[in-house]
Structure 1
Amino acid sequence: MKRIYIVAFLMLLCTMADAQIMAKLKEIGMENIRCVQTPETTTVAFENNVYRGTYTGIGKAVTACLDGIPGGNLQMVVLENRIPRLYIDMPDSLVHAYKKGDIGLAQVYQRMRISVDTDNAMKVLEKSEKPENTSAWKVDVVIYPDLFLENNTFDELYTYAINLNPAVEMALWKGAKATAQVILPIATNLTGEMKRVRPGIITISQDVRLKHNLFGRLTVGNFTDNRIGAQLAIKYRTDNGRAEVGAQMGVTGFSAVTADEGWYIGTKMRVNASVTASYYEPHTNLQFDLSANRYVFGDYGIRGDCTRHFGEYAIGLFGIYTSGEINGGFHFAIPLPGKKWNRKGFFRVKPADYFAWTYSMVAHGKYIDEQMGKSYYTRPDENRSGGFYQPDYIRYFLIKEAKKAQSKSIK
């Protein structure tokens, strides 16, 4: 009889702790929260759609869980559109030392394990109830700034176009997302389509995660650079997230708004494809990318990128060699104002998290005339800072932010 009472008491404690952790995560705005608790281990999944930047949201969630857990091991799964991206593991000794006050957050971040491998934790979470504070069917209206700048004429220093591109974005079922964007011209010295209100990225995408760190995405719709069609991408990441290999293939046609025909969609389809490899060097926060490509208009080439991550800022250089022609330039992603955007109900209006821009060195000659090196984006928020789930990067900047906060509190 005593054993029955003890088991019942432990189950009651687990239920209370489970509710407390979920309440803590809800309090800071986390979504798609799931929790499974045993006397030894707490396993929780969450998704950050409130805080700008991956490591900021993870840091808030780690603190909330440590405050809500009574003790034991802590396992966390970081989600993106309900797809698991990262696994975080803190043993009982680490949790106990933090709650006792022997160590601070910087030491927790330093000692906790971060991995891309989420398979075992997700098996545990299969026993959980339905996710709480779900992101499904919630609507965001996101305002994206857009700048086009090119030196390709002799009578003007630069041709330019400044646009505001609001997009309606909605999470659908697990891994699925709908996007509908319109391009609103603000100022330009160009003519034709660049002066017209026109459709931007209008897509439905489906992300999947398979076992052993395999990720896939299928996107169908209207893309950037006047392309419409479908693209399939797949990639594999190592457990530590430093190395990544992938491939993608797209089949697209021409899409543009004309004065005579309105929204014109061409019938000729073109195939593009690429094979990519990436490596993240943790000591310098440098990301190296190399790809072999068949570009949209049939030319074959290679591209190399080197990107330096400064917290939420990413600045990089690139070079392209295709069909005997060389191009290069730089790209960057910088955070826009607003570190936190709460959701109230099912509708939210917010600016984009980042402004991303790429400048190409070559803007005339054969490279431009034959449209070499042409590619496109399938999402309006594609950049090298947003959604960057690299374990070393996240750990480094979590520790840096924790030490900064600690030094401020001492002063």
Structure 2
Amino acid sequence: MYADTLTTRLPVRMKRIYIVAFLMLLCTTADAQIMAKLKEIGMENIRCVQTPETTTVAFENNVYRGTYTGIGKAVTACLDGIPGGNLQMVVLENRIPRLYIDMPDSLVHAYKKGDIGLAQVYQRMRISVDTDNAMKVLEKSEKPENTSAWKVDVVIYPDLFLENNTFDELYTYAINLNPAVEMALWKGAKATAQVILPIATNLTGEMKRVRPGIITISQDVRLKHNLFGRLTVGNFTDNRIGAQLAIKYRTDNGRAEVGAQMGVTGFSAVTADEGWYIGTKMRVNASVTASYYEPHTNLQFDLSANRYVFGDYGIRGDCTRHFGEYAIGLFGIYTSGEINGGFHFAIPLPGKKWNRKGFFRVKPADYFAWTYSMVAHGKYIDEQMGKSYYTRPDENRSGGFYQPDYIRYFLIKEAKKAQSKSIK
């Protein structure tokens, strides 16, 4: 009897072993296929963990200009490579998690059957800032493939200075080209070394000299519960050198954000007598910020309370409208009894895609960003009120804009545009 029982159970056990082995083989094959698809479109820092129920992927876009364009390419690649099941995606920036995308099995299945198109996928998929759970899953993965570490970019930034602050000339101006060597180091760390090359100006002194631009090392961190931090040390814009610490918190839907930053900087300039002169007097600046994104109108509202570089206290408000990769906005400042205002914009420069072949790449900046202030004379200028600085050459309101509603809206818009073109 015992022998009979053993012979009847053995095939059942063997079937189970075969099924498990088949599922593991299927997962391994699909895992490799997804990694290959993401590599094919140039994504970096790719990680993948796959089970029979769920595929979890992380990737970083350093090829396509704009956040939603790169995300759209990655979503399509993963949908083409996955055999089925749930799909989770984590969007990275310098290996720091920024966004979480979740597509249930029913959505993936409907797309692969052809019942729905990409626009419907973008509309129904979940996008959130909360990446904690997905990153726990990805801890089980191997080392990231196609890493961005130690790869060098030479990025050419155009620079324009325009101000009406003299009586003998309508405007003072300066046109520069500012090439920067940028390199990702370890996780969250980045090195930047920029030089300013004058092209044309009607100013004198430092504005006519070749001089250092932004030369920094920065370290980004992400803590649990959507808390981000950044420490930057080096030479900044507006003749400041020192250190800045920034921290911010974002809600899961990414619409609201609060933060604070503090900087300790000294004076930095290239002079005719001393060369690169660095002052010893240090100044403290600080700010508390709040931001809200209104998804129906694609308007971003920013409010900050500031202690500016030269000791004046004030508030600043910005309203920015996002038109795809274009961002145009107005701002106003009230500081120590003085009022200023103006406009700013960020516009994409030619070249939607710049492949990285090997560890070295030369490319233009993704965006040209510019700010114009109305007040250029009087007490506001004489006492250097409202002064601040940038710590990165690519700081603008379009680049690196990981806002879930913004990304979903323009993904859907681009998908519908592509669909209408294919029909024609």
TM-score normalised according to structure 2 size: 0.97
Shift of 1:121: 0.1
Query: 1:229, 1:390 → 2: CA distance?
Result: 30
What SS does structure 2 have at the residue aligned with 1:19? helix
Query: 1:319, 1:354 → 2: CA distance?
Result: 23
Shift of 1:255: 0.1
What SS does structure 2 have at the residue aligned with 1:306? strand
For structure 1, the 5+ residue unaligned runs are none
Query: 1:150, 1:361 → 2: CA distance?
Result: 9
Query: 2:26, 2:107 → 1: CA distance?
Result: 21
CA-to-aligned-CA distance 1:206-257 (integer Å, 9 cap, x gap): 0000000000000000000000000000000000000000000000000000
Query: 2:318, 2:385 → 1: CA distance?
Result: 18
% identical equivalent positions: 100
1:39 counterpart = 2:52: yes
CA-to-aligned-CA distance 1:352-400 (integer Å, 9 cap, x gap): 0000000000000000000000000000000000000000000000000
What SS does structure 1 have at the residue aligned with 2:137? helix
Query: 1:18, 1:216 → 2: CA distance?
Result: 32
Match of 1:242 among 250, 255, 267: 255
Query: 2:233, 2:377 → 1: CA distance?
Result: 31
Query: 2:138, 2:206 → 1: CA distance?
Result: 50
Q: Where in structure 1 do 4 or more consecutive aligned residues deviate above 4 Å?
A: none
Match of 1:313 among 298, 306, 326: 326
Query: 1:320, 1:348 → 2: CA distance?
Result: 39
Structure-2 residue corresponding to 1:165: 178
Query: 1:175, 1:137 → 2: CA distance?
Result: 12
Shift of 1:298: 0.2
What SS does structure 2 have at the residue aligned with 1:291? strand
What SS does structure 1 have at the residue aligned with 2:402? coil
1:233 counterpart = 2:246: yes
Query: 2:311, 2:25 → 1: CA distance?
Result: 64
Structure-2 residue corresponding to 1:20: 33
CA-to-aligned-CA distance 1:15-47 (integer Å, 9 cap, x gap): 000000000000000000000000000000000
Shift of 1:4: 1.4
CA-to-aligned-CA distance 1:157-209 (integer Å, 9 cap, x gap): 00000000000000000000000000000000000000000000000000000
Query: 2:303, 2:92 → 1: CA distance?
Result: 27
Structure-2 residue corresponding to 1:50: 63
What SS does structure 2 have at the residue aligned with 1:3? helix
CA-to-aligned-CA distance 1:85-104 (integer Å, 9 cap, x gap): 00000000000000000000
What SS does structure 2 have at the residue aligned with 1:8? helix
What SS does structure 2 have at the residue aligned with 1:64? helix
What SS does structure 1 have at the residue aligned with 2:119? helix
Query: 2:18, 2:214 → 1: CA distance?
Result: 59
Shift of 1:6: 1.1
Query: 1:121, 1:86 → 2: CA distance?
Result: 10
1:208 counterpart = 2:208: no
What SS does structure 1 have at the residue aligned with 2:389? coil
Structure-2 residue corresponding to 1:333: 346
Shift of 1:292: 0.1
State the aligned residue count.
411
CA-to-aligned-CA distance 1:33-82 (integer Å, 9 cap, x gap): 00000000000000000000000000000000000000000000000000
Shift of 1:5: 1.4
Query: 2:17, 2:334 → 1: CA distance?
Result: 72
Query: 1:39, 1:216 → 2: CA distance?
Result: 36
Shift of 1:407: 0.2
Query: 1:279, 1:10 → 2: CA distance?
Result: 45
Query: 1:84, 1:364 → 2: CA distance?
Result: 44
Query: 2:172, 2:60 → 1: CA distance?
Result: 41
Shift of 1:2: 1.7
For structure 2, the 5+ residue unaligned runs are 1-13
